[in-house]
Amino acid sequence: MARVRKSYADGTYGQLHYRIAVPEAASSLPPLYCLHQSPKCGMEFETLMGVIGDERIVVAPDYPGYGQSDKPPEEHLATVPAYAEACWQVADALGHDTIALFGNHTGSKVATEMAVMRPGHVGNIAMVSAAVLTDEERAFFADYFTPIPLDDAGTRFSTMWQRIIERRGPGATLEMLAQSLMMNLLGGEEYEWGHAAAFSFAEPFEQALKTLPNRITILNPADDLTECTRRATELLRNGEVIECPQWGYNFMDVWPEEVAALLRSHL
Protein backbone atom coordinates (compact mmCIF):
# COMPACT_ATOMS: atom_id res chain seq x y z
CA MET A 1 0.00 0.00 0.00
CA ALA A 2 1.31 3.43 -0.94
CA ARG A 3 1.54 6.04 1.79
CA VAL A 4 -1.00 8.86 1.47
CA ARG A 5 0.36 12.24 2.50
CA LYS A 6 -1.42 15.56 2.99
CA SER A 7 -0.46 19.07 1.96
CA TYR A 8 -1.76 22.46 0.82
CA ALA A 9 -1.66 24.63 -2.27
CA ASP A 10 -2.74 28.25 -2.69
CA GLY A 11 -6.16 28.82 -4.23
CA THR A 12 -8.49 31.66 -5.09
CA TYR A 13 -10.15 31.69 -1.66
CA GLY A 14 -7.21 30.64 0.49
CA GLN A 15 -5.55 27.30 1.02
CA LEU A 16 -6.52 24.16 -0.86
CA HIS A 17 -5.96 20.90 1.00
CA TYR A 18 -5.11 17.74 -0.92
CA ARG A 19 -4.00 14.15 -0.40
CA ILE A 20 -1.27 12.62 -2.55
CA ALA A 21 0.19 9.15 -2.99
CA VAL A 22 3.42 8.73 -4.94
CA PRO A 23 4.82 5.33 -6.02
CA GLU A 24 8.37 4.43 -5.06
CA ALA A 25 9.32 3.84 -8.69
CA ALA A 26 8.81 6.45 -11.40
CA SER A 27 5.65 5.89 -13.46
CA SER A 28 4.90 6.77 -17.08
CA LEU A 29 1.19 6.98 -16.30
CA PRO A 30 -0.33 10.47 -15.95
CA PRO A 31 -1.25 11.49 -12.41
CA LEU A 32 -4.79 10.48 -11.45
CA TYR A 33 -6.93 13.17 -9.80
CA CYS A 34 -9.82 11.91 -7.66
CA LEU A 35 -12.74 14.33 -7.33
CA HIS A 36 -15.13 13.87 -4.41
CA GLN A 37 -18.90 13.90 -4.04
CA SER A 38 -20.86 16.39 -1.91
CA PRO A 39 -20.62 17.05 0.98
CA LYS A 40 -17.53 14.86 1.37
CA CYS A 41 -13.84 15.53 0.70
CA GLY A 42 -10.75 13.79 -0.65
CA MET A 43 -10.76 11.51 2.40
CA GLU A 44 -13.30 9.29 0.66
CA PHE A 45 -10.56 8.14 -1.74
CA GLU A 46 -7.87 7.48 0.87
CA THR A 47 -8.14 3.66 0.94
CA LEU A 48 -8.28 3.47 -2.86
CA MET A 49 -5.31 5.83 -3.16
CA GLY A 50 -3.22 3.44 -1.10
CA VAL A 51 -3.81 0.76 -3.73
CA ILE A 52 -3.50 2.84 -6.90
CA GLY A 53 -0.61 4.87 -5.51
CA ASP A 54 1.71 1.88 -5.88
CA GLU A 55 1.65 2.36 -9.66
CA ARG A 56 0.98 6.05 -10.37
CA ILE A 57 0.70 9.40 -8.63
CA VAL A 58 -2.79 9.89 -7.17
CA VAL A 59 -4.11 13.23 -5.91
CA ALA A 60 -7.40 13.94 -4.13
CA PRO A 61 -8.09 17.66 -3.58
CA ASP A 62 -10.72 19.04 -1.21
CA TYR A 63 -12.95 21.57 -3.00
CA PRO A 64 -13.12 25.07 -1.47
CA GLY A 65 -15.28 24.80 1.66
CA TYR A 66 -14.88 21.04 2.09
CA GLY A 67 -12.45 18.94 4.08
CA GLN A 68 -9.62 21.21 5.13
CA SER A 69 -9.84 23.70 2.23
CA ASP A 70 -10.79 27.32 2.87
CA LYS A 71 -14.32 28.23 1.79
CA PRO A 72 -15.52 30.90 -0.64
CA PRO A 73 -16.91 33.99 1.09
CA GLU A 74 -20.37 33.62 -0.49
CA GLU A 75 -22.46 30.71 -1.78
CA HIS A 76 -22.78 32.03 -5.34
CA LEU A 77 -19.00 31.54 -5.66
CA ALA A 78 -19.32 27.83 -4.88
CA THR A 79 -19.82 26.39 -8.36
CA VAL A 80 -18.69 23.39 -10.37
CA PRO A 81 -16.38 25.62 -12.47
CA ALA A 82 -14.90 27.04 -9.25
CA TYR A 83 -14.27 23.52 -7.95
CA ALA A 84 -12.69 22.56 -11.28
CA GLU A 85 -10.45 25.63 -11.24
CA ALA A 86 -9.39 24.82 -7.67
CA CYS A 87 -8.35 21.32 -8.73
CA TRP A 88 -6.32 22.78 -11.59
CA GLN A 89 -4.66 25.12 -9.09
CA VAL A 90 -3.55 22.05 -7.13
CA ALA A 91 -2.29 20.41 -10.35
CA ASP A 92 -0.39 23.57 -11.29
CA ALA A 93 1.20 23.74 -7.85
CA LEU A 94 2.37 20.13 -8.25
CA GLY A 95 3.60 20.66 -11.82
CA HIS A 96 1.10 18.22 -13.33
CA ASP A 97 0.35 19.33 -16.88
CA THR A 98 -1.60 16.35 -18.21
CA ILE A 99 -3.76 14.23 -15.89
CA ALA A 100 -6.41 11.51 -15.78
CA LEU A 101 -9.61 12.04 -13.80
CA PHE A 102 -11.88 9.98 -11.55
CA GLY A 103 -14.98 11.78 -10.27
CA ASN A 104 -17.65 10.66 -7.81
CA HIS A 105 -21.18 12.14 -8.14
CA THR A 106 -20.48 15.92 -7.91
CA GLY A 107 -16.94 14.98 -8.90
CA SER A 108 -18.26 13.62 -12.20
CA LYS A 109 -19.34 17.12 -13.17
CA VAL A 110 -16.10 18.62 -11.87
CA ALA A 111 -14.18 16.12 -14.04
CA THR A 112 -15.92 17.05 -17.28
CA GLU A 113 -15.55 20.76 -16.50
CA MET A 114 -11.81 20.32 -15.90
CA ALA A 115 -11.54 18.71 -19.33
CA VAL A 116 -13.55 21.53 -20.93
CA MET A 117 -11.35 24.15 -19.25
CA ARG A 118 -8.08 22.74 -20.56
CA PRO A 119 -8.52 20.75 -23.75
CA GLY A 120 -5.60 18.45 -24.42
CA HIS A 121 -4.50 18.37 -20.79
CA VAL A 122 -6.85 15.61 -19.63
CA GLY A 123 -6.54 12.00 -20.71
CA ASN A 124 -9.20 9.41 -19.96
CA ILE A 125 -12.01 10.12 -17.49
CA ALA A 126 -13.82 7.73 -15.18
CA MET A 127 -16.73 8.65 -12.97
CA VAL A 128 -19.13 7.17 -10.47
CA SER A 129 -22.68 7.92 -11.62
CA ALA A 130 -23.91 10.68 -13.91
CA ALA A 131 -26.69 12.94 -12.64
CA VAL A 132 -28.67 13.27 -15.86
CA LEU A 133 -31.83 14.44 -14.11
CA THR A 134 -35.33 15.39 -15.14
CA ASP A 135 -36.69 18.71 -13.88
CA GLU A 136 -38.81 16.82 -11.37
CA GLU A 137 -35.83 14.86 -10.06
CA ARG A 138 -33.72 17.99 -9.82
CA ALA A 139 -36.43 19.70 -7.77
CA PHE A 140 -36.76 16.65 -5.52
CA PHE A 141 -33.04 16.45 -4.80
CA ALA A 142 -32.79 20.21 -4.26
CA ASP A 143 -35.52 19.96 -1.63
CA TYR A 144 -34.06 16.80 -0.09
CA PHE A 145 -30.66 18.44 0.33
CA THR A 146 -31.93 21.74 1.72
CA PRO A 147 -29.66 22.59 4.69
CA ILE A 148 -31.07 21.51 8.05
CA PRO A 149 -30.86 24.29 10.68
CA LEU A 150 -29.02 23.62 13.90
CA ASP A 151 -31.15 22.97 16.98
CA ASP A 152 -30.70 21.70 20.53
CA ALA A 153 -32.04 18.29 19.56
CA GLY A 154 -29.29 17.76 16.98
CA THR A 155 -31.81 17.17 14.20
CA ARG A 156 -29.25 17.91 11.50
CA PHE A 157 -26.87 15.25 12.79
CA SER A 158 -29.48 12.58 13.48
CA THR A 159 -30.92 13.12 9.99
CA MET A 160 -27.47 12.86 8.41
CA TRP A 161 -26.80 9.61 10.28
CA GLN A 162 -30.20 8.14 9.42
CA ARG A 163 -29.65 8.86 5.71
CA ILE A 164 -26.19 7.29 5.84
CA ILE A 165 -27.62 4.18 7.52
CA GLU A 166 -30.46 3.95 5.00
CA ARG A 167 -27.96 4.05 2.12
CA ARG A 168 -25.47 1.68 3.69
CA GLY A 169 -23.80 -0.24 0.89
CA PRO A 170 -22.94 -3.96 0.99
CA GLY A 171 -19.98 -4.63 3.26
CA ALA A 172 -19.82 -1.11 4.73
CA THR A 173 -18.81 -1.12 8.38
CA LEU A 174 -20.00 1.28 11.07
CA GLU A 175 -16.52 2.80 11.10
CA MET A 176 -16.84 3.58 7.38
CA LEU A 177 -20.24 5.17 7.98
CA ALA A 178 -18.90 7.22 10.88
CA GLN A 179 -16.15 8.54 8.61
CA SER A 180 -18.81 9.49 6.07
CA LEU A 181 -20.63 11.49 8.75
CA MET A 182 -17.40 13.15 9.81
CA MET A 183 -16.77 14.34 6.25
CA ASN A 184 -20.24 15.90 6.18
CA LEU A 185 -19.50 17.81 9.37
CA LEU A 186 -16.27 19.25 7.95
CA GLY A 187 -18.45 21.25 5.53
CA GLY A 188 -19.72 23.36 8.43
CA GLU A 189 -22.72 25.61 7.87
CA GLU A 190 -21.96 25.57 4.13
CA TYR A 191 -22.16 21.78 3.85
CA GLU A 192 -24.88 21.77 1.17
CA TRP A 193 -23.30 24.35 -1.16
CA GLY A 194 -21.79 21.54 -3.22
CA HIS A 195 -25.11 19.83 -3.86
CA ALA A 196 -26.65 23.13 -4.96
CA ALA A 197 -23.68 23.71 -7.28
CA ALA A 198 -24.05 20.25 -8.82
CA PHE A 199 -27.82 20.46 -9.36
CA SER A 200 -27.50 23.83 -11.10
CA PHE A 201 -24.82 22.48 -13.45
CA ALA A 202 -27.06 20.39 -15.69
CA GLU A 203 -26.83 21.56 -19.32
CA PRO A 204 -23.03 22.09 -19.32
CA PHE A 205 -22.51 18.58 -17.95
CA GLU A 206 -24.73 16.93 -20.53
CA GLN A 207 -23.14 18.98 -23.29
CA ALA A 208 -19.71 17.87 -22.14
CA LEU A 209 -20.75 14.22 -22.29
CA LYS A 210 -21.90 14.79 -25.87
CA THR A 211 -18.86 16.70 -27.10
CA LEU A 212 -15.72 15.84 -25.12
CA PRO A 213 -13.32 13.68 -27.16
CA ASN A 214 -11.92 12.09 -23.99
CA ARG A 215 -12.77 8.46 -23.33
CA ILE A 216 -15.38 8.54 -20.50
CA THR A 217 -16.18 5.46 -18.42
CA ILE A 218 -19.16 5.75 -16.07
CA LEU A 219 -19.48 3.25 -13.22
CA ASN A 220 -23.12 2.72 -12.23
CA PRO A 221 -23.43 1.24 -8.73
CA ALA A 222 -26.67 0.70 -6.83
CA ASP A 223 -27.27 4.17 -5.39
CA ASP A 224 -29.64 7.12 -5.68
CA LEU A 225 -28.47 7.90 -9.22
CA THR A 226 -28.64 4.43 -10.76
CA GLU A 227 -31.57 5.05 -13.10
CA CYS A 228 -30.59 8.55 -14.20
CA THR A 229 -27.01 7.40 -14.87
CA ARG A 230 -28.30 5.04 -17.55
CA ARG A 231 -29.56 8.06 -19.49
CA ALA A 232 -25.95 9.05 -20.07
CA THR A 233 -25.50 6.10 -22.44
CA GLU A 234 -27.22 7.93 -25.28
CA LEU A 235 -25.30 11.15 -24.60
CA LEU A 236 -21.75 9.82 -24.57
CA ARG A 237 -19.67 10.74 -27.59
CA ASN A 238 -16.87 8.40 -26.58
CA GLY A 239 -17.41 6.03 -23.69
CA GLU A 240 -19.64 3.57 -21.90
CA VAL A 241 -21.71 2.98 -18.79
CA ILE A 242 -20.58 -0.06 -16.79
CA GLU A 243 -23.26 -1.54 -14.55
CA CYS A 244 -21.97 -2.32 -11.03
CA PRO A 245 -25.05 -3.60 -9.15
CA GLN A 246 -22.83 -5.40 -6.62
CA TRP A 247 -21.56 -2.06 -5.29
CA GLY A 248 -23.33 0.57 -3.20
CA TYR A 249 -22.22 3.56 -1.18
CA ASN A 250 -18.75 3.18 0.40
CA PHE A 251 -17.72 0.64 -2.25
CA MET A 252 -14.28 2.22 -2.65
CA ASP A 253 -13.54 1.41 0.99
CA VAL A 254 -15.03 -2.09 0.85
CA TRP A 255 -13.50 -3.26 -2.44
CA PRO A 256 -10.51 -0.99 -3.20
CA GLU A 257 -8.57 -3.71 -5.08
CA GLU A 258 -11.48 -4.44 -7.39
CA VAL A 259 -12.12 -0.75 -8.03
CA ALA A 260 -8.43 -0.18 -8.73
CA ALA A 261 -8.40 -3.05 -11.24
CA LEU A 262 -11.39 -1.61 -13.07
CA LEU A 263 -9.88 1.87 -13.18
CA ARG A 264 -6.54 0.43 -14.29
CA SER A 265 -8.19 -1.03 -17.38
CA HIS A 266 -9.88 2.24 -18.36
CA LEU A 267 -7.56 5.07 -17.30
Q: Is the pLDDT of residue 79 over 90?
A: yes
Give residue 131's region: left, alpha or beta (phi > 0; psi -120 to 50): beta
**57 vs 228: CA distance, rounded Å:** 32
Q: Is the pLDDT of residue 204 over 90?
A: yes
The CATH number assigned to the domain holding 182 equals 3.40.50.1820
Q: Is the pLDDT of residue 26 over 90?
A: no
Interval 106-139: pLDDT, tens: 999 999 999 999 999 999 999 999 999 999 999 9
Q: What is the dihedral of CA 205, 209, 214, 215, to 10 degrees?
A: 130
Q: Tell how strand 32-35 and strand 216-221 pair up.
A: unpaired
| High-pLDDT (> 70) share of the chain, % | 100
| Global confidence as pTM | 0.97
Q: Is the pLDDT of residue 53 over 90?
A: yes
Q: Is the pLDDT of residue 217 over 90?
A: yes
Number of domains composing the chain? 1
Using 50, 70 and 90 to split pLDDT, how confident is the model at 85? very high
Residue 127 domain boundaries: 4-264
pLDDT of the residue at 75? 97
Of the given ranges (24-28, 207-211, 237-241, 261-265), which has the lowest mean pLDDT? 24-28
